[in-house]
Amino acid sequence: MRTALVTGSAGFIGFFTAQALMRAGWRVVGLDAMTDYYDVTLKERRRAMLRQAPDYIDIEARLETSGTLLDLFRTHRFEAVIHLAAQAGVRHSIEAPRSYMKANLVGTLELLEAARAFPPLHMLLASTSSAYGANTVMPYVETDKTDHQMSFYAATKKAMENMAHSYSHLYGLPITMFRFFTVYGPWGRPDMAHFKFTKSILNGDPIDVYNHGQMQRDFTYINDLTAAILELVDVAPGETPVEGDSLSPVAPHRIVNIGNGAPVQLMDFISAIETACDREAIKNFHDMQPGDVPSTYADVSLLNRLIGQRPNTPIQEGINAFVKWYRDYHRL
């Protein structure tokens, strides 16, 4: 049985990724610090479900604690490492930048050092669409220049990409960097827009709509995302690029967008939630928030060339599934 490390396993994406790996026959070592950036009860519920699986090993620890990851790598000799643990949130990075430095940079350094000592066959590290920053030409392509991040969160993720590239070059570590595009779905993070909108609409409270609704996002349903991750585990970067590849010329290091490839207007997204909730939102319109960008749109051509075409869940279908989960979870 193959063994994978999933960091951030009690988080939204980590939880679904760990489940997908185990369904595919992997043993999963899940590491999570159980931080209180959002309601820890939600993380505990996710972790409790993972712990029920016989092929799941649960570790509660911080990435940045020296020696923790080295001991794990020594013990388990992972074939795959999927690094999803991070301090998330664009706006929170304005308020608490040091937490991003510790988790996203120091934590990733500890991971890379452990991998240098005990190399896995493939490392897959989560970056973000926010790395594209001030770029205005869309759709975003992995080979675009990305020098102007708009938030400290995005800056730490871009720095992670560069750190990973240096280790890939120096030590021959095969590394794939994911750039995720606005992931949503059941068991999602409470700080995400779909969670906040649904809660407010069902409670009859107003919702805040930024940039006066003139925004669009490439919303990616969680099951589509994890299906892509699972396929990419067995597509480690090598020496031979594919058409339009982002493969480094000096290292087995590749950047891959994972998105829906079809952006949705914010007002249409809100309309989908209104439909699923069967009630209209009370909308308060505001200017753009600091650090945010008006649009994201992924070119997923490289992803499709690497793993083939994959399902793209329509926005109403995905929102319906989320709202059903939300009502069930909160017994509404």
Query: In this predicted model, what pLDDT tens digit does every residue of 192-226 receive, in sequence order?
Result: 899 999 999 999 999 999 999 898 999 999 999 99
Which residues in the chain belong to E strands, given as ranges? 3-7, 27-32, 56-60, 80-83, 122-128, 175-180, 183-184, 206-209, 216-217, 220-221, 253-258, 264-265, 282-285
pLDDT band at 173 (very low <50, low <70, confident <90, very high): very high
Which pairs count as long-range contacts for 288-292, CB under 8 Å and 24+ apart, including other chains? 288/210, 288/211, 289/91, 289/210, 290/91, 290/94, 291/90, 291/91, 291/93, 291/94, 291/150, 291/151, 291/152, 291/153, 291/154, 292/90, 292/91, 292/150, 292/151, 292/210, 292/211
As a whole number of angstroms, the distance between CA 84 and CA 35 comes to 14
Q: Which helix (H) or strand (E) holds 271?
A: helix 266-277
Portion of the chain with pLDDT greater than 90, in percent: 81
Q: What are the tens digits of pLDDT across the range 232-254?
A: 999 999 988 999 999 999 999 99
Are 226 and 13 spatial neighbours (Cβ–Cβ below 8 Å)? Answer: yes
pLDDT band at 31 (very low <50, low <70, confident <90, very high): very high
209: which residues sit within 8 A by CB, 6+ positions away? 266, 267, 270, 283, 284, 285, 286
As a whole number of angstroms, the distance between CA 97 and CA 11 comes to 20
Are 180 and 186 spatial neighbours (Cβ–Cβ below 8 Å)? Answer: no
pLDDT of residue 326: 96
As a whole number of angstroms, the distance between CA 140 and CA 134 comes to 11
Arithmetic mean of pLDDT, 128-151: 92
Helix, strand, or coil (residue 287): coil
Phi, psi of 82, deg, nearest 5:
-115, 105
193: which residues sit within 8 A by CB, 6+ positions away? 269
Q: Greater confidence, 3 or 38? A: 3
pLDDT at 310 over 80: no
Rg of the chain, C-alpha, whole Å: 19
Q: Which of 37, 56, 100, 153 is catalytic?
A: 153
pLDDT of residue 321: 97
pLDDT band at 167 (very low <50, low <70, confident <90, very high): very high
pLDDT at 96 over 90: no
What is the torsion angle, in degrees rounded to the nearest 10, for the CA atoms of residue 22, residue 6, residue 95 and residue 158? -120
Are 33 and 86 spatial neighbours (Cβ–Cβ below 8 Å)? Answer: no
pLDDT of residue 7: 98
pLDDT of residue 119: 98
pLDDT at 141 over 80: yes
Q: Mean pLDDT over all residues of the chain?
A: 94
- Map out the domains of the chain with their CATH numbers: 3-181+221-258 (3.40.50.720), 193-217+262-297+312-329 (3.90.25.10)
pLDDT band at 169 (very low <50, low <70, confident <90, very high): very high
As a whole number of angstroms, the distance between CA 167 and CA 67 comes to 18
pLDDT at 97 over 90: no
As a whole number of angstroms, the distance between CA 264 and CA 256 comes to 21
Catalytic status, residue 297: no
pLDDT band at 295 (very low <50, low <70, confident <90, very high): confident
Phi-psi label, residue 213: left if phi above 0, alpha if psi -120 to 50, beta otherwise: left
**Which residue type does 22 have?**
M
pLDDT of residue 171: 98
